[in-house]
Amino acid sequence: MPTRIVVDPITRIEGHLRIEVVLEGNKITDALSSGTLFRGIEKIVENRDPRDVWAFVQRICGVCTHIHAIASVRAVEDALDYRIPKNANYIRNIMTLTQFVQDHVIHFYHLHGFDWIDVVSALKADPAQTSALAQSISGWPLSSAGYFRDVQTKVKTLVESGQLGIFANAYWGHPAYRLPPEANLMGVAHYLEALNWQKEIAKVHAVFGGKNPHPNYLVGGMASAININGNNTINIERLNLVKTKIEEAQTFVDQVLMPDILAIANFYKKDLYGGGVRNYLAYGGVPTVDVRNPDSYLFPGGIVLDRDLSKVYDIDLKDPKHIQEFVTHSWYRYDDPQAGLHPWQGRTEAQYDGPKPPYENLDENKRYSWIKTPRWQGKPMEVGPLARFIIGYARGNQRMRTLVDDALKKLDLPLSALFSTLGRTLARALETKYSVDHLAGFHADLVANIKAGDSAVFNPDKWDPSTWPATAQGVGYCEAPRGALAHWIKINKGKVESYQAVVPTTWNASPRDAQGQIGPYEASLLDTPLANPDQPLELLRTIHSFDPCLACATHLLNREGEEMLNLRVI
């Protein structure tokens, strides 16, 4: 007799996600992913000055901070054929890679780590053996027996006080945890260290964008005036601070994150469930030269279908047949509920007929999510670090290939092991390494360009709306930490006529489409064995491996939507 498990809300993510699964025996045989929150961004930017939109849409999220601003300014720049100076491109790249490194480390330790690391088991560890383990895998200095004893005492005090605090509400002692106590203690120590470390790397955003989260952006360049001898500008002291933060990040990734992921993966390498939809999409990003030159992208774009790495398809974000959003199973209204609309034709209008309190189960034959359903040529697509590495690998990116091949060799796993929950988490760590390795290079390029006498960060040519055509449309895209991100804009007489964002978590967390095809989260759960259905740790592990951000995915709202919110409160 099949049973239904509901996990709502799933925690240690951004926003509110509900997962329902059907269980037969101890295996998941069906799954529904539902975004249960809605918000308002796409409608409130209508009729505004396109040059201001980045400041609104950046507020979609504070976790993938800055990334919606970059998509937005690029959408306007694409519509107006507006070029940016070289320095602005370098600064945007430094911002993006900084974001990848910070966000991925936070995800690995703070949002995902405790799906693999058992805090309560860490209390049983021998600090001397933990020290020996840590020193056998890394030269990181915080590795003495005394240091690990102090960490253990700190956690023990928390546990004995009955106030687990940040460590509460987990499935400690669950049989799907596989690390020995010493590895668990090392993981807990690095969890605490990473909390402190992440605020340091964020200073790079503060230097170039004034603050973090939500640094300042600018259509036509960056709002980071450069004067190497100035007091209140990007000067040599600020550039040296950035260099120091990049070096610290490099050390942390090389000596903490990378040894940890390989050590942990080694204990879990038989658990290769969670593969998902078999199709992978990346728009491509981090242009070393110019966004108009995809050959210069650090992250190659493209599509891999059915896990076949021998062929990569190109994406055209402006082709209405390539990218479409369906709402057949989402609480939105289209004239034809079966239709898929390209974002330039996209609509944002709520049609809520979902469960009301007390909440009954979702119905997969009806609407069941506030997330729309994006598809590429009608197919569901996984996006994110794993997709980027699969596409980079298939495109022949040598550095990505070496990172993947070396890691898999150390783990004694075949390439096909990537198509799993563990592979997704491994790919994110490899991407952190790939990103941090390129940060120093962009910093050096920026400094060299400034020293050569170019301090321009803004191109004033098209700032004045009187120079714009009466109507224009554009798309701005980038790779965000969680995957491919794009914003589509239509401009009419200097104002925003329509605006649509399709974000990474929309791709991954999407409900079924008009054809009934399930989305990436849903597909990734099928056939997952649960050791203890009352504590679905394996389910959490798989969903968390995508690093869900429902705040990003459910960025839609209209006035009817606000009324719906009242319904929930009554």
Pick the closer one to ligand NFE by CB: 76 or 226.
76
Residue 25 Cα to chain centre, angstroms = 33
Binding piece for Mg ion, criterion CB under 5 A, among 27-35, 66-74, 215-223, 493-501 = 493-501
What are the phi and psi torsion angles at 167 (to 5°)? -100, 5
How far apart are CB 122 and Mg ion at their closest, in Å? 41
Which is it for the CA torsion 248, 249, 251, 255, positive or negative? positive
CA gap 69, 476 in Å, rounded = 10
Pick the closer one to ligand NFE by CB: 14 or 513.
14
Window 92 to 121, contacts with Mg ion (CB under 5 A): none
CB of 317 within 8 A of CB of 74? Answer: no
Partner that binds at residue 67, options ligand NFE, Mg ion, none, CB closer than 5 to 8 Å by kind: ligand NFE
Binding piece for Mg ion, criterion CB under 5 A, among 127-135, 424-432, 481-489, 498-506 = 498-506
Among 261, 286, 501, 549, binds Mg ion (CB under 5 A): 501
CB of 550 within 8 A of CB of 538? Answer: no
Binding piece for Mg ion, criterion CB under 5 A, among 98-106, 123-131, 446-454, 499-507 = 499-507
How far apart are CB 554 and ligand NFE at their closest, in Å? 10
Partner that binds at residue 189, options Mg ion, ligand NFE, none, CB closer than 5 to 8 Å by kind: none
Pick the closer one to ligand NFE by CB: 41 or 185.
41
Nearest-Å Rg of the Cα atoms of the chain is 23
Pick the closer one to ligand NFE by CB: 90 or 477.
477
Residues recorded for the chain: 570
How far apart are CB 10 and ligand NFE at their closest, in Å? 14
Partner that binds at residue 549, options Mg ion, ligand NFE, none, CB closer than 5 to 8 Å by kind: ligand NFE
How far apart are CB 273 and ligand NFE at their closest, in Å? 22
CA gap 447, 449 in Å, rounded = 5
Partner that binds at residue 472, options Mg ion, ligand NFE, none, CB closer than 5 to 8 Å by kind: none
How crowded is the C-beta side of 466, counted as CA atoms within 13 Å? Answer: 0
Neighbouring-strand partners of residue 379:
376
Cα of first residue to Cα of last residue in the chain, in angstroms, is 36
How far apart are CB 115 and ligand NFE at their closest, in Å? 18
Pick the closer one to ligand NFE by CB: 73 or 549.
549
CA gap 104, 92 in Å, rounded = 18
Pick the closer one to Mg ion by CB: 71 or 201.
71
For Mg ion, which residue has the nearest CB? 501
Structure token digits, residue 190: 């690095």
Residue 441 corresponds to which amino acid?
G
How far apart are CB 42 and Mg ion at their closest, in Å? 6
Pick the closer one to Mg ion by CB: 404 or 556.
556
Partner that binds at residue 513, options ligand NFE, Mg ion, none, CB closer than 5 to 8 Å by kind: none
Pick the closer one to ligand NFE by CB: 419 or 521.
521
Around Cβ 476, how many Cβ atoms within 10 Å? 25
CA gap 104, 110 in Å, rounded = 10
Partner that binds at residue 530, options ligand NFE, Mg ion, none, CB closer than 5 to 8 Å by kind: none
Interior/surface letters 46-80, b for 16+ CB within 10 angstroms, e for the rest: eeeebbebbebbbbbbebbbbbbbbbbbbbbbbbb
User: Cα dist. 13→60, 170, 540, 549 in Å?
Assistant: 15, 14, 10, 6
Which is it for the CA torsion 84, 87, 90, 96, positive or negative? negative
How far apart are CB 486 and Mg ion at their closest, in Å? 10
- Per rule CB under 5 A, is residue 404 in the interface with Mg ion? no
Total residues binding Mg ion (CB under 5 A) = 1
Pick the closer one to ligand NFE by CB: 238 or 424.
424
How far apart are CB 556 and Mg ion at their closest, in Å? 6
How far apart are CB 487 and ligand NFE at their closest, in Å? 9
How far apart are CB 372 and Mg ion at their closest, in Å? 6
Binding piece for Mg ion, criterion CB under 5 A, among 136-144, 306-314, 451-459, 500-508 = 500-508
Owner of token pair 């956690």? 155
Partner that binds at residue 249, options Mg ion, ligand NFE, none, CB closer than 5 to 8 Å by kind: none
Assign 225 to helix, strand or coil: coil
Partner that binds at residue 551, options ligand NFE, Mg ion, none, CB closer than 5 to 8 Å by kind: ligand NFE
DSSP state letters, 310-343: T--B---TT-TTTEEEE-TTBTB--SSTT-EE-G
CB of 31 within 8 A of CB of 19? Answer: yes
CB of 299 within 8 A of CB of 284? Answer: yes
Owner of token pair 């911002």? 95
CB of 235 within 8 A of CB of 190? Answer: no
Binding piece for Mg ion, criterion CB under 5 A, among 127-135, 246-254, 421-429, 494-502 = 494-502
Which chain residues interact with ligand NFE by CB under 6 A? 14, 61, 63-64, 67-68, 480-482, 485, 503-505, 549, 551-552
Residues found near Mg ion in the complex (CB under 5 A): 501
